[in-house]
Structure 1
Amino acid sequence: MNEISRIGQDPKPDTQEADALLPQNIEAEQQLLGAILTNNEVYDRIAQIIKPEHFYEPVHQRIFTRAMERITKNALASPVTLKPFFEDDEGIKELGGVQYLVRLAGAAISSFAARDYAQLIYEMHQRRELIKLGGDIAAKARAYDVDLEPAEQITQAEQQLYKLAETGGATTGFQSFLSAVTDAVRVANAAYQRDGGLAGVSTGLIDLDKKLGGLHRSDLLILAGRPSMGKTSLATNIAFNVAKAYKRGKKPDGTEGAVNGGVVGFFSLEMSAEQLAARILSEAAEVPSENIRRGDMTEAEFRRFVDAAKQLESCPLFIDDTPALPIAQVAARARRLKREHGLDVLMVDYLQLLRGHGRTDNRVQEIAEISMGLKAIAKELDIPVVALSQLSRQVESRDDKRPQLSDLRESGSIEQDADVVMFVFREEYYVEREKPSDDRLDEMAAWQERMERLHGRAEVIIGKQRHGPIGSVDLSFEGRFTRFGNLIQPWQNGADQRDEY
């Protein structure tokens, strides 16, 4: 049994049994408080680690709170200055009165050990919270609440666990400019050493990588477009390219992880996992997607299809096709995937199909909550998040169908929260629907010439980029295989485009 040692006092018998049930270290609390009361500068070293509620002994919580209040006001916190606050404190009286403050100061540890003691106290608090959380989960599971289904209880439990894991480590406070510069140089060096000069994860599309510098960690990228523009196809192409290029090894900072490509998580709220896999296989095997759906394949095509499926078995691409997910569950499932398999890029198809935390009739407010939640996931997990988004119908009413930032549907917060906003645009789609009648020969000739020029071409319009230029990127598009690719320019004469960079 872990005995509570109170300086100058014997532990009470009725507290020993309770104390034995919960992790605690009263001696560490006493000695840390003593260090703070003898040298107030110690507080600055441990303020980011522990808070008053992390102390097990209620008296120690009150002493720490009073000391913290005085120190943050640039006033001295010592046994003498704190004495008036505790003369009527019943807890202090049980420990021998205000002389307990003097005994704490006498038991002070060296200021160099303060952080270690603070960390120990914090870890004990974490253990007690885990025990409490386990009890709460068990109690809720026993209670048959019709409004709280088991799946929802699991989600709530995950949220509470991760909230507990994040406390104490989320706030880093100020860092020196030297530290910030060192991080910036490390990123630039990684880009310099990597093929193609990318700081982020390569999309596999060279011209797009050149414009974006790859997919950067902690960025929220919005990929928007009207229906039939191919935004889901582009998202699956990028996801496949990243997963296909995955290589694990030692990163420049010495940690183990993806040195090329990455592990991809794909939330497909519109299409089933099977449909999404068929699209990826269509691209990899070069078999038209409609033929795959109908089973209308030649023997050679079916052989390519099966071979592609075998090659992709080991691809680190994970698909979740649960419909109408709340943003909280997206965060919880992404955290779980990162913990179990790693996670380097997260794709969401598409943003408007997610749900917010509460039940609200204000759709604009709900979309704002979702976009902020996606940005929070990107920062928390330190990964790029690519979220697809619908555009409003006002695009169709304009002569120039190229989308703009103002076309983002239902909320301006999407534009505000995003680090990059991209639009997929295929002019061929609109021109194809302007076909003149066969008897208008001149117009038909002009239309055919325009269709030939636009056939198999797509455009990604970068409407916003926090850390780079805006503009357009031309891509090739093969509708049969739902595949976007690098557009070979006329002056390249079929040469590999990688040689140009």
Structure 2
Amino acid sequence: MATLLRLPDETAPAGPRQPLNIDAEKALLGALLVENRLLEELGVPLGEDHFAEPLHGRIFARIRSLVDQNMLASPVTLAPLFANDPALAELGGQAYLASLAEDPAVVLLARDCARQVHDLALLRALIRLGTEMVNRACDTSEAIAPREQIEAAEADLFRIADAGDISGGAQSFAQAATRAVDMVARAKRSGGSISGVTTGFSGLNRTLGGLQRSDLVILAGRPAMGKTALATNIAFNAAWRRALDEEEGRNSGTGAAVAFFSLEMSADQLAARILAQRAELNSERLRKGEIAQEEFNRLARAAEELQHLPLFIDDTPALTVAALRTRARRLKRQHKIGLIVVDYLQLLQGTSRQADGSRVMEVSEITRGLKTLAKELDVPVLALSQLSRQVEARPDKRPQLADLRESGTIEQDADIVLFVFREEYYHAQKRPSDPASDEFRRWQEEEYRLRGLAEVIVGKNRHGATRIIDMVFMSEFASFGDAADET
């Protein structure tokens, strides 16, 4: 049953008259009493709170309750349930119920009346929300937290908007089958490998089929492995594919507008990374400004080329998972985003941290919140995660699922878990001190072999096989690429 955002009655404005139509409410109730089956055919989600007259709301709730019990809802069966209701008694008791159902023609008006009752309820909710916002903003008796008030107002506003969304619920097999066929058709159009949002990497696309809608994908790694670089590459590739589709007037189905929540790096730092990758400039020299005029010109051309890239960066620090959800929903409505990236999971905050400060429980809440967000918006969510230090204690430092830091629910809630691993990083720490020794020569040979090599380990894949995907890492550009045997 639908529930409407309900604010305290004392927030109702005293000035403007509330939008309502009591006659429409009476006609709707009469139609339901004449023909109970209309209850499931109204076309909008209605609840008791949608009725401006509280008595009508109670009558509607009783009708639904009787129908749910496979009982007939009529003036006769309703009368005993309202025997002690003073509001109905004041209107004439059972006679009032009978008057609602005395005109069978109201059955023809049921859907239109239901829509009007629903829409007027939304308008009243907006009025209550607006009044509540004014009252909160004017009240300086407690701590002033305008940003928290704005986020709370956004969340309330989206709850009101969702009161009219009836896209959820059970689907027929025909509907589900149609979506499955569409998914296969997208994979076929892309050359037989991608049914979701492209990662831009052949090996990853072949293994995962792209990033699938409603999936929570965890990308984990130890510091300096390049997980932010890989996530940035994937975000850029998906957004670039979308931009090309729009420019060419086609829809490959594999591109997506991207929302990138960067809790660690600022938006300009992230943009500088993307520009360095696109212009093939050394990111460290770029950061220091140590570039020639020709390189600066390449940077300017890349910036102009990417002016309309559908990549939206939110670098607000210390976001709660609830605030992230609100912002993601807004971006979904405004820009139709098809991929969400979160860098990184451990920097998010939960909303219900326990008194004992259990970080494990908080991370569990965060991962469940991200998975719920992926399903709610029907987009893949790619969340970066740290790994525990126990990786460093093993001779083979390739990460495993047990290394996911702080909570086993990360592994449980994720549909796909990817690990980034670069043996080159660990080999560099073993450099012998004597450059003239045989040990140093052997170390150097191995260093040449490992230079630029990287692995993306598919540790969990709810849709298929797990494997190790060979890739190359260009450290000067902070960028990944396909290995020769993965193209």
TM-score (norm: length of structure 2): 0.90
Q: Select which of 155, 167, 170 maps to 2:163.
A: 167
1:22 partner amino acid: Q
Q: Counterpart of 1:340 in 2: which secondary structure?
A: helix
In the TM superposition, 1:79-478 aligns within 5 A as: 79-109=75-105, 111=107, 113-169=109-165, 172-247=168-243, 259-360=253-354, 361-438=357-434, 441-478=437-474
SS state of the match for residue 484, structure 1?
strand
Deviations 1:160-204 (A, max 9, x none): 111121235267332222221122112222222234541111111
Partner of 2:7: none
Instruction: Look up the SS of the partner of 2:476 in the other structure.
Output: helix
Q: Is the CA contact (8 Å cut-off) linking 1:243 and 1:261 kept in structure 2?
A: yes
Residue type of the alignment partner of 1:157: A
3-state SS, counterpart of residue 200 of structure 1: coil
Query: Does the aligned pair in 2 maintain the 1:32–1:108 contact within 8 Å?
Result: no
Letter in structure 1 aligned against 2:214: S
- Residues 18 and 432 (structure 1), Cα distance of their counterparts in 2 relative to 1, 3 Å cut: closer
**Percentage of matched positions with identical amino acids:** 50
- Residues 429 and 236 from structure 1, CA distance in 2 versus in 1: closer, same or farther, beyond 3 angstroms? same
Measured after TM superposition, the shift of residue 395 of structure 1 is: 0.5
**Residues 258 and 92 from structure 1, CA distance in 2 versus in 1: closer, same or farther, beyond 3 angstroms?**
farther
1:69 is matched with: 65
The aligned residue for residue 3 of structure 1 is none
8 Å contact kept, 2:45–2:163: no
Number of equivalences: 470
Give the secondary-structure state (helix, strand or coil) at the position aligned to 1:21. Answer: coil
Cα offset, 1:287, TM superposition: 1.4
Q: CA deviation at 1:339?
A: 2.7
Give the 3-state SS of the residue equivalent to 1:267 in structure 2: strand
Q: Deviation of residue 145 (structure 1)?
A: 4.3
Partner of 1:22: 18
Identify which range, 92-101 or 439-448, moves more after superposition. 439-448
Q: Distance in 2 between matches of 1:97 and 1:439?
A: 100
Taking the aligned partners of 2:68 and 2:244, their CA distance within structure 1 comes to 46
Match of 1:4 in 2: none
SS at structure 2 position matched to 1:480: coil
2:331 partner letter: L
1:483 aligns with 479
Shift of residue 259, structure 1, vs aligned partner: 4.5
CA deviations over 1:263-296 (Å, ceiling 9, x no partner) = 2221111112222122112211111111112222
Quote how far apart the aligned CAs of 1:448 are.
Answer: 2.8
Distance 2:58 2:302 in 1: 65
Matched, 1:34 2:30: yes
Deviations 1:54-98 (A, max 9, x none): 112122112122222222112221111112222343222332331
Residue pair 2:194, 2:209 contacting (<8 A) in 1 also: yes
Report what 1:6 is aligned to.
Answer: none
Partners of 1:142 and 1:471 lie apart in 2 by 58
Q: Is contact 2:243-2:310 (8 Å) kept?
A: no
Distance 1:36-1:23 versus aligned 2 partners, 3 A rule: same
Partner of 2:484: helix, strand, or coil?
A: coil
For normalisation by structure 1, the TM-score amounts to: 0.88
Q: Which runs of 5+ in 2 are unaligned?
A: 1-12
- 5+ long unaligned stretches in structure 1: 1-16, 251-255
CA RMSD of aligned residues (A): 2.5
The answer to whether the 8 Å contact 2:242/2:310 transfers is yes
Whether the 8 Å contact between 2:420 and 2:454 is mirrored in structure 1 is yes
- Report the Cα distance in structure 2 between the residues aligned to 1:182 and 1:460, rounded to whole angstroms: 33
CA distance in 2, matches of 1:85, 1:230: 66
Amino acid at match of 1:264: V
Q: Deviations over 1:412-443 (max 9, x none)?
A: 12112211110100011111212234378443
Aligned partners of 1:310, 1:318: CA distance in 2, in Å?
Answer: 16
CA shift for structure 1 position 126: 0.9
Report the secondary structure of 1:423's partner residue: strand
